Amino acid sequence: MQADEGCLRFGFSLFIWILSFVICHSASAINGIAADPSRSLYTARQLGMGGVSVNFSDDGSGVFANPAQLTNFEFPQITSASRKIMLDETQYIFAGWAMPTAYGTFGLGYTGMGVGGSIPTSLDPVTGRITQNPSLEAGSFSNSIFAVSYSRKITAPVKLSLGGNLKFFNQAVSGSGGDKGTGMGIDLGANYQPNKWLQTGIVLQNIVGGSIKWASVEDKLGANYKLGARAALFGPSAEALYVYPQRIDAGLDLDISSSLFHLGFEYFPLKNISLRAGLNQESAGAGLTFGVGMENGGFRYDYAYVQRAGLPGDNPHYFTLSYVGERKLTIEKKLKSKTVAIKILSPRDRLITDSDTVEVRAEATASRILSQKRTWTVPSISATSDAFDVTESEPLEKVYFNGKEIEARGSIEAVEPLQEGRNVVQLIGFTKPEQAAPSVIDTAEARVLRIRPFTDTPLSHWAIEPISLTVVLGLVSGYPNNTFKPEKGITRAELVTLLVKSIGLQTEILDAYGTAEAFKDVKKKDWAAKYVAYGSSIKYVTGYADGAFKPNKVLNRAEGVAILARYAGLEDMSAGAAFSDLKADFWANKYIEPAKKTGMLKYLAGKEFKPSEPFSRAEACEVLYRVPTIQKKANEFWETGIISAAR
């Protein structure tokens, strides 16, 4: 009985509040101010944050709360909310829809509240009991708005969004003295972002006035102005004031018309879950608010607990369902093939050194080439996809360094001993076999030549490579005291000797040319006799008119290059001057120009030829080394270690 009486008292108190609302509405008609239910929207997200809405209406609620906020999303938005107070006497319904397009964002909204089927009551002043009066007709009141909105973002020169809506009012009172009224109003909103973490906004509701016309009176629509700010205090991106793994936003609104404020916070402990709290100030008092939100599959579910001061019997629980859109990315990968990349960073290939060890630095990696398909799905909206090949790294199954398996993968560092002569640093890598891609192998090699330099020809000498290789190939040799004398002029006998040696004749054939004297100044017993005889027979060199060869005469540069050009089979009778200091009719032009074109005179690039300069032993090695047939011998040595005698 007491419980029933409590419910009855609660119902009567509720009716008194509703009746007060109707009376206030009637009073507002007298005072010229009509009720506008869009002034405070009952969506759980904003209520959970203390009623902050100017910069937190980036969903369907923005149609009414702040049209400028409708520019802050890329998917269509739908927000709906419903509230019923006990005994179903008062209902609140809200729905908002917004569609972003290339021409701006368009929105539609509906909000309404009403009271229906309320039986009049009276208070007995003697007993204090509330009693019903069934003799009076039950009354109801409804107040609804339909809105059309448009908004657009301006990105230059400032980050500004503007929006507005056109509202159509319908209000009705039934029962004794029932009436209907209609009217129009306009709201404007703006958002401005002064920096990456702060947003500000303003909403001007019913800015141009307007009225609701009843049968006998006309109510003016009162204006309501709001200022707001939103700060991204913490967040995982650089758009927050402080970079932090979890996101926290704060908001503050000020109702200018009533000097009331709203303060709230939104915290995301997880990406799709938000916790909210706030302080909501209303004319009847202030109260704490709490809320929670969850997103899944493009939908957001919001709940708020709000004990609103001054509204007896008001249900403190609010629920909102919104479609906010979500682009889901799914990736499908299919293995196409594998590759192995073995790269020796140090030593460089064909290094010449006098050290007994070499530092080895290398990279041994494997890659998987996959066919990847990405699909972006917006639930209930669309799906798009693209396809392309991607490369992903993969650890190698095995790596061998100079024939021995090693544990190192990726970056490899080692010190390898060197023997005198040609050495090979070799790396081999294998991938793990799979059904779609069998094992793949790759090999990298670096060849190193360890020499014992002549005492007068260090590794820094400009011609160390041609000198070292022509010595290794057996074309030239140093002196018994381990000197090479690279700057010493080479004689006619010395040059023809090294050219004949490069042919690789059989000993008996060469010895046969040492049995006769080809020139009067070259005796059979001379060390170069057989080389001079054979070289002159094949026209590498010629003697002088008096029958002399002059074996000890130092060649000048023109003579030395001419001999080496004849050795290479190069002669152009129509050749001109290949260097600026040579005359057009110079006798050796027919040898010098083709030798230069062949690359035999690289060491003279950008210089004068100076034909009368002594032709040094180092120069002779350099030019001979660039002869195509000798280059072939050198390449064969680097690749195989074989020293070939045949041209």
| Helical pair 492-503 and 557-567, crossing angle rounded to 10 deg | 20
- How far is Cα 231 from Cα 595, in angstroms, rounded to an integer? 77
**pLDDT higher than threshold 50 for residue 164:** yes
How confident is the model over 390-447, as pLDDT tens digits? 888 888 889 999 989 988 888 999 999 999 999 999 999 988 888 777 888 999 999 9
Average pLDDT over residues 500-510: 79
- Asked if residue 81 lies in contact with residue 57, where contact means CB atoms within 8 angstroms, the answer is no
Confidence of residue 316 (pLDDT cuts 50, 70, 90): confident
CB atoms within 10 A of CB 221: 23
CA 463 to mean position of chain CA atoms: 48
Report d(CA 307, CA 303) in Å as an integer.
13
Do 596 and 619 meet the contact criterion of CB atoms below 8 Å apart? no
* Number of continuous H segments (helices) and E segments (strands) in the chain: 11, 28
- From CA 304, how far away is CA 316, in angstroms rounded? 8
Write the CB contacts of 451 (distance below 8 Å, at least 6 apart in sequence).
352, 353, 354, 420, 468, 471, 472
List helix spans (H) across 416-506. 464-472, 492-503
Based on the number of CB atoms within 10 Å of its own CB, is 177 exposed (0-12), middle (13-18) or buried (19 or more)? exposed
For residue range 593-606, what is the model confidence (pLDDT) as tens digits? 999 999 999 999 99
Give the pLDDT confidence of 537-565 residue by residue, as tens digits: 888 888 888 888 999 999 999 999 999 99
Q: Which pLDDT does position 14 carry in this prediction?
A: 34
- Section 369-384 average pLDDT: 78
pLDDT of residue 599: 94
Q: Do residues 256 and 277 lie in contact, with contact meaning Cβ atoms separated by under 8 Å?
A: no
Q: Beta strands 247-255 and 242-243: pairing type?
A: unpaired
Report how far residue 440's alpha carbon sits from residue 368's, in angstroms, rounded to the nearest whole number.
Answer: 11
Taking the CB of residue 89, how many other CB atoms lie within 10 A of it?
A: 20
What is the per-residue pLDDT across 283-311, written as a single tens digit (0 to 9) for each? 878 889 999 999 987 889 999 998 776 66
DSSP state of 326: -
The per-residue pLDDT of the chain, averaged, comes to 84
> Higher model confidence: residue 399 or residue 20?
399
Three-state SS at 421 = strand
Closest residue by Cα to residue 623 from 578, 647, 592: 592
167, 227, 249, 232: which is closest to 195 by C-alpha? Answer: 232
Pick the residue with more confidence: 86 or 389?
389
The DSSP 8-state label assigned to residue 71 in this structure reads G
d(Cα 284, Cα 561) in Å, to the nearest integer? 109
pLDDT > 90 fraction of the chain, expressed in percent and rounded: 47
b/e per residue 509-540 (b: at least 16 CB within 10 A): ebeebbeeebbebbeeebebbbbbbbbbeeeb
How many CA atoms lie less than 13 Å away from 78 in the CB half-sphere? 6
For residues 237 and 246, give the distance between their C-alpha atoms in angstroms, rounded to a whole number.
10
State the residue for tokens 């980050």: 159
Would you say 60 and 192 are in contact if contact means Cβ atoms under 8 Å apart? no
pLDDT at 22: 34
Which tops the pLDDT comparison, 455 or 128? 455
Q: Which pLDDT score, from 0 to 100, does residue 50 have?
A: 92
Is the CB of residue 578 less than 8 Å from the CB of residue 607? no
User: In which band, very low, low, confident or very high, does the pLDDT at 11 lie, cut at 50, 70 and 90?
Assistant: very low
Q: What sign does the CA torsion over 482, 486, 488, 491 have? A: positive
The domain locations on the chain are 2-324, 338-370+385-450, 464-640
Mean pLDDT of 154-172: 87
Q: What is the C-alpha to C-alpha distance for residues 388 and 539, in angstroms, rounded to an integer?
A: 65
Of the pLDDT bands very low, low, confident and very high (cuts 50, 70, 90), residue 34 is low
Stated length of the chain: 647
Q: Does the pLDDT at position 587 exceed 90? A: yes
Strand 398-401 and strand 317-323: the pairing is: unpaired
**Three-state SS for 387?**
strand
Contact 301, 293 (CB under 8 A): yes
- Please work out, in degrees rounded to the nearest 5, the angle formed at the alpha carbon of residue 136 by the alpha carbons of 132 and 141: 95
* CA–CA distance, 63 with 414 (Å, rounded to integer): 69
Whether pLDDT at 637 is above 50: yes
The string of pLDDT tens digits covering residues 233-242 is 999 988 899 9
Q: In terms of DSSP bridges, do strands 224-235 and 242-243 run parallel, antiparallel, or are they unpaired? A: parallel
55 band by pLDDT with thresholds 50, 70 and 90: very high
Write out pLDDT tens, residues 78-98: 998 876 544 445 677 889 999
> Hey, is 285 helix, strand or coil?
strand
The residue that leads in pLDDT, 37 or 540, is 540
Residues 173/114, Cβ–Cβ less than 8 Å: no
Among 168-172, 249-253, 269-273, 327-331, where is mean pLDDT lowest?
A: 327-331
d(CA 341, CA 339): 7
CA diameter of the chain? 161
Strands annotated E in 157-298: 160-174, 179-195, 198-205, 211-213, 218-220, 224-235, 242-243, 247-255, 260-270, 273-282, 285-296
Cα distance from N-terminal residue to C-terminal residue, the chain: 124
User: What are the two backbone dihedrals, phi and then psi, of residue 30, each rounded to the nearest 5 degrees?
Assistant: -70, -40
Q: Locate 366 and state its tokens.
A: 């494997």
Write the CB contacts of 386 (distance below 8 Å, at least 6 apart in sequence). Answer: 373, 374
List, for residues 92-145, the tens digit of each pLDDT value: 788 999 998 889 999 999 998 876 665 555 556 666 565 556 655 556 778 889
Q: Beta strands 179-195 and 160-174: pairing type?
A: antiparallel
Q: How far is it, in rounded angstroms, from Cα 365 to Cα 394?
A: 7
Q: What span, in angstroms and rounded, lies between the C-alpha atoms of 165 and 109?
A: 10
Q: For residue 369, what is the enclosing H or E element?
A: strand 357-378
**Which CATH code, of 2.60.40.10, 3.40.50.1360, 2.40.160.20, 2.60.40.1180, is assigned to 338-370+385-450?**
2.60.40.10
Q: Give the whole-number percent of the chain exceeding pLDDT 70.
A: 86
